[in-house]
């Protein structure tokens, strides 16, 4: 037994490589894991909870819940292969140093993240560990292409999606995904670990019940969802992707954010599917679904080159936009009580499941920034806390796009009509009927415009405007004109 102050000296071959897990919670196609195994020494998997190091953007409530479930899944997968996840709470730099001292680990490997604060922190960690003789290496596991490798013909960052994605498609396919290992050699050193519950990620609150019913976090859930999408929904993706009432989208976004599945796995899954069905490379590479993965790439490209965009508009003239302070309107929007059924259905779906259909996201975002003239920052903050797929790059891109102040943004005069959008993309009212059950007995004709329904229709449906369902909190036609006036002023 070792005395106080002494560290066990292990043979070099027994000293573990520390594998630092972050947003790469999978064993298949994990380059850092593969590199750790190639070193021929035991592997010590580590997860460090340090939300304060995300500066202004620590994970929100829904993200924390998902992370808890995903770590449970990762623990189970590691144990199946003979390994064990060490869980610690930050600060990260001191924790890694301590683990290296306690285990004699000569190296730490990880997969890269691209948020500005995290990249700065990771550079400091790398320099500090190397200064005491610990080898470090990071790997690309999140994106198809590293953001710093993509430039337009002028040598500048792309700011428009179409040429950006055209350039990406001109490059070689990403490497084939790495298989999951059959075994992970366990470290002889058994450093202390926290129990996952000690991190306090899962509040076990009533609001998490809907999340539990809607999702299966972890790599097994990610693989199952991907297979189901490719087989059942992908063939009609182009026609169904804008219909929130149908199974038409992949819902892979939270699995991608937490790295339970890689974008390379999805890319090559599409490629295999196309090959099996005789679809040409040109056809599937130009598919709408692959373009959605392209938007994900584009968002990280923008955040890397324009890190200030999380708080500041990319288009400088929008710094003078006359946003309103409107607490009552913001609260009504957050709770799905605006009097516009498609908006309310979307916000209620978000609250119940931590997710919202992309078409509906655009509509509810447009309503906040253009009908209510409330800053996109308020919307980004609410989404950040309530979305299970809250991703800093994509959240920033989406809100700045809708507000008209970002790269490749929607033109200022594009103001979504929430009633028209509902009638077009939820034509039978099934989406609204699910999330706004107080309207379920209305005829389809009035489902998206209950405030205009005849009194007898409302009576028969058991709907009382202003009582059982709110009256519209704003007139869309008036609000649209006010928004256009405000946008015209800053444009001038």
Active-site amino acid positions: 292, 295, 323, 358, 376, 399
Question: What residue has token string 């329904």?
Answer: 453
d(CA 438, CA 432): 10
How many CB atoms are located within 10 Å of the residue 234 CB? 22
Q: Single out the residue of 355, 107, 140, 83 nearest to residue 259, CA to CA.
A: 140
Provide the 3-class DSSP secondary structure of residue 176: coil
Bond before 22 cis per omega within 30 degrees: no
C-alpha of 228 from chain center: 20
d(CA 310, CA 415): 23
d(CA 159, CA 298): 9
d(CA 92, CA 198): 17
d(CA 45, CA 76): 13
Task: Indicate the burial class of 455 (C-beta count within 10 angstroms; 0-12, 13-18, 19 or more).
Answer: exposed
Structure tokens at 394: 């994509």
d(CA 307, CA 397): 11
Structure tokens at 169: 């498609």
Bond before 91 cis per omega within 30 degrees: yes
- Most distant pair of Cα atoms in the chain: their distance: 86
Per the CB < 8 A criterion, the answer to whether 139 and 166 are in contact is no
């Amino acid at each position: 037994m070792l005395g106080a102050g002494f560290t066990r000296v292990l043979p070099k071959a027994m000293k573990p490589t520390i594998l630092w897990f972050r947003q790469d919670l999978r064993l298949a196609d994990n380059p850092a894991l593969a590199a750790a195994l190639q070193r021929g020494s035991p592997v010590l998997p580590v997860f460090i909870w340090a939300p304060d190091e995300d500066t202004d953007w620590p994970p929100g409530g829904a993200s924390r819940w998902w992370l808890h479930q995903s770590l449970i899944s990762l623990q189970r997968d590691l144990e199946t292969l003979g390994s064990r996840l060490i869980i610690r709470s930050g600060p990260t730099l001191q924790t890694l140093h301590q683990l290296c001292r306690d285990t004699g680990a000569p190296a730490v490997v990880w997969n890269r993240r691209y948020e500005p604060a995290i990249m700065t922190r990771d550079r400091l960690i790398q320099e500090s560990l190397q200064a005491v003789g610990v080898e470090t290496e990071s790997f690309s596991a999140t994106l198809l292409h590293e953001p710093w490798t993509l430039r337009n013909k002028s040598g500048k960052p792309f700011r428009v999606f179409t040429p950006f994605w055209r350039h990406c498609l001109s490059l070689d396919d990403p490497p084939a995904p790495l298989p999951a290992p059959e075994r992970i050699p366990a470290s002889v050193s058994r450093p202390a670990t926290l129990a996952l519950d000690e991190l306090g990620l899962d509040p076990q609150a009533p609001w998490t019940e809907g999340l539990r019913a809607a999702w299966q976090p972890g790599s097994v859930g990610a693989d199952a969802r991907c297979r189901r999408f490719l087989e059942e929904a992908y063939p009609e993706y182009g026609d169904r992707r804008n219909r929130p009432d149908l199974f038409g989208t992949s819902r892979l976004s939270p699995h991608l954010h937490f790295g339970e599945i890689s974008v390379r796995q999805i890319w090559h899954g599409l490629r295999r599917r196309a090959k099996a069905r005789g679809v040409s490379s040109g056809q599937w590479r130009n598919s709408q679904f692959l373009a959605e993965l392209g938007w994900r790439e584009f968002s990280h490209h923008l955040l890397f080159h324009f890190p200030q965009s999380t708080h500041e508009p990319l288009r400088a003239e929008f710094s003078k936009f006359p946003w309103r302070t409107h607490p009552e309107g913001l609260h009504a929007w957050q709770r799905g009580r605006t009097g516009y059924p498609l908006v309310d259905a979307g916000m209620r779906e978000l609250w119940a499941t931590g997710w919202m259909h992309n078409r509906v996201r655009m509509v509810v975002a447009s309503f906040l920034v253009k009908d209510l003239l409330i800053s996109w920052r308020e919307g980004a903050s609410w989404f950040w806390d309530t979305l299970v797929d809250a991703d800093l790059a994509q959240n920033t891109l989406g809100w700045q796009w809708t507000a008209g102040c970002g790269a490749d943004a929607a033109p200022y005069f594009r103001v979504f009509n929430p009633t028209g959008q509902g009638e077009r993309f939820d034509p039978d009212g099934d989406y609204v009927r699910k999330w706004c059950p107080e309207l379920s007995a209305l005829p389809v004709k009035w489902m998206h415009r209950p405030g205009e329904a005849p009194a007898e229709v409302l009576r028969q449906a058991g709907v009382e405007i202003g009582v059982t369902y709110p009256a519209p909190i704003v007139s869309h036609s008036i609000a649209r004109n006010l928004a256009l006036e405000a946008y015209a002023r800053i444009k001038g």
